Amino acid sequence: AQSVTQLDSHVSVSEGTPVLLRCNYSSSYSPSLFWYVQHPNKGLQLLLKYTSAATLVKGINGFEAEFKKSETSFHLTKPSAHMSDAAEYFCVVSVSGGSYIPTFGRGTSLIVHP
């Protein structure tokens, strides 16, 4: 069984300040972890992924995430928020063995103030 918990439904930051979106996961096997972003009326776009290589993963648009097995976390960070980062962010977990059925978190809405 697998599950993912996004700890904040909304995160509000000012432009130019750091972003932290928190994600905890639960998995019986070695997980693959993803972060997706969804802008209003648009499809989901992959930001970054962890698949058992380096624990610090760099993604697009300056985002990073660190896989911490001891804390079962995969938090998403960005040093400096931009207005265009305002969107819905989803943390996703999937596990190996047969087919990969991904489980999405409920999402975190990132609000960026000027």
Partner 1 sequence: DAGVTQSPTHLIKTRGQHVTLRCSPISGHKSVSWYQQVLGQGPQFIFQYYEKEERGRGNFPDRFSARQFPNYSSELNVNALLLGDSALYLCASSLAATSGSSYEQYFGPGTRLTVT
Taking CB under 8 A as the binding criterion, the range among 12-20, 57-65, 71-79, 96-104 that sits at the site for partner 1 is 96-104
Residue with tokens 């995160």: 11
52: left (phi over 0), alpha (psi -120 to 50) or beta: left
Is residue 80 a contact point for partner 1 (CB under 8 A)? no
Cα–Cα distance for residue pair 8/46, rounded to 1 Å: 20
Cα–Cα distance for residue pair 111/99, rounded to 1 Å: 35
Interacting residue with partner 1 among 41, 56, 70, 114 (CB under 8 A): 41
Is residue 106 a contact point for partner 1 (CB under 8 A)? yes
Task: Name the residues that contact partner 1, by CB under 8 A.
Answer: 32, 36, 41-46, 49, 51, 90, 96, 98-107
